Amino acid sequence: TVEGSRIVQIATAPEWVGVCPQCGQKSSRSKGWVTTRPRDVQVGPDRPLLVWRKRKWLCTNISCVREVFIESTPGVPSRARVTPRAKV
């Protein structure tokens, strides 16, 4: 950026793409995209700007109570505004 910060584009690892956090079943029905910008730890003189474009999914397991979910990982859970390592 103009201020000297780095922009880091994040992609979901293949093993987490489309996996329902409630039942663990992998979905194949995408419902669209969302972009999140969780804050992370400072690295050197700047704080990298994280940009994670992830998919919104429909859970295809009929016995699952969760109908729609957004990709997440154990390292950055759903609705996280700050990465877990930045909270330490």
The contacts of residue 22 (CB under 8 Å, 6+ apart) are: 59, 64, 65, 66, 69
Q: What is the pLDDT of residue 26?
A: 94
Specify the DSSP element, H or E, that contains 84. helix 84-87
Which residues face 49 on adjacent strands?
A: 7
Query: What is the block-wise mean pLDDT of the chain (88 residues), using blocks of 10 residues?
Result: 78 88 92 87 75 92 93 76 67
Q: What is the pLDDT of residue 39?
A: 80
Phi, psi torsion values for 27, nearest 5 degrees: -100, 155
Amino acid at 11: A
The reported pTM is: 0.72
Separate counts of helices (H) and strands (E) for the chain: 1, 4
